[in-house]
Amino acid sequence: MQIMNRTMACALPGLLLTLAACAGPSYDVNAQRCDLSKHRALVGQNVGGITLPPSLRKQEVQFGSRPQMANDPSRLTMFVDAKGWIVQVACG
């Protein structure tokens, strides 16, 4: 019985690590469309350090500039400073 407990104690961390690796990616904001109530949380973060769902349409715009793409309410527009920090977010 004691050998079985040791075996389980050694195997359990490896099993948990394997299961964690199989989990889907973790997104900073898990929204498929622009949702300002959720995406405002990105303000103050660096655009290079965030992870967003690949299906989310998004664009980065230099703060103070105007977006070049046609308006699309489902697309997330992130206004970034010269160092990539998100200063403002908008839908469109």
- Reported confidence tier of residue 10, pLDDT bands at 50, 70, 90: low
State pLDDT tens for residues 18-43.
545 555 667 888 899 999 999 999 99
Percent of the chain past pLDDT 90, that is, above it, reads 60
Domain ranges of the chain: 27-91
| Fold (topology level) of 27-91 | Trypsin Inhibitor V; Chain A (3.30.10)
Q: What's the average model confidence in pLDDT over 69-85?
A: 94
Contacts of 42 (CB under 8 A, 6+ apart): 28, 29, 50, 78, 86, 89
pLDDT value at residue 8 = 52
- The model carries a pTM of 0.71
